[in-house]
Structure 1
Amino acid sequence: MGEVRHTYSRPTWVCTVDGEPWPCEARKAKFRTDYVGERTRLRMMLGAHFSDAMGDFADAGKTSDDIEALRKRFFDWVPTVPLVAMHVPPGELQRYVSGSS
């Protein structure tokens, strides 16, 4: 059996697997793994989805408060430190960042 793909259902933007607001916790965990060292790329991909979701929310008559909650849902969980830092053993990050061996 293949991997369960936690994707969204439009126009509600809830996970098709667990019914949580998308991106759900399982999808966030997958993104963290898939985008190690590529935080900017992750934010760009989420931005494209956020743009679609904003359109769906606007079409549904949602308020600016709803859109702000949506923005937080899409972006506030993304780490402010590089994702690779979350996978580097303690004490090794400086060596990794500086490129020294």
Structure 2
Amino acid sequence: MKLSTQAQPPLAGPKINHPRSHGEQPSHTPLRPMWFCRADGQQWPCAEARLLLRAEFADNMPGLSIYLAGMFYEATKDLYRLNPHDGQTPIELFQRFVAWGPLRKPIAEDR
């Protein structure tokens, strides 16, 4: 199962997604615009979604970084629209969506 293809943001801008029951367990994809996991109700990306995304992008870590940055951008727009005054800060959203992704080397090493 590829989460990145299931959770792509719509081209025409944010769209509210409503879960559909097909008799199977829901996948660990975001329920927009609140950005909760469809399967377990945790903030997306939940722990299971993170594991699945890492496995899906195992051979493409730059692709995972780009995907997470795109989801961060979409979530920031949605969540700010829902709660512009006392929602998560940009730093908290970055930690939630991007910082857990592939490890990066520091820009400059101390000598």
Q: So what's the TM-score if we normalise by structure 2?
A: 0.63
Tell me which residue corresponds to 1:45. 67
**Are 1:36 and 2:58 matched, yes or no?**
yes
Letter in 1 for 2:53: F
- 8 Å CA contact retained: 2:29, 2:37: yes
1:75-98 deviation digits (Å, cap 9, x = unpaired) = 1211316xxxxxxxxxxxxxxxxx
Partner Cα separation in structure 2 for residue 2 and residue 64 of structure 1:
33
The alignment-based identity, stated in percent, is 27
The DSSP-based 3-state class of the residue aligned with 2:77 is helix
- Say which of 66, 77, 81 aligns to 2:100: 77
**Displaced runs of 4+ in structure 1, greater than 4 A?**
1-4, 62-65
Partner Cα separation in structure 2 for residue 12 and residue 64 of structure 1:
11
Tell me which residue corresponds to 2:89. 66
Letter in 2 for 1:15: C
Report deviation, 1:4: 4.7
Tell me which residue corresponds to 2:20. none
Change (3 A) 1:10 1:37: same
Letter in 2 for 1:78: G
Letter in 2 for 1:54: T
Where do 5+ consecutive residues of structure 2 fail to align?
1-22, 105-111
Count of matched residue pairs: 81
Report deviation, 1:67: 2.3
1:38-77 deviation digits (Å, cap 9, x = unpaired) = 1110011111111110101221215585222111011121
Q: So what's the TM-score if we normalise by structure 1?
A: 0.68
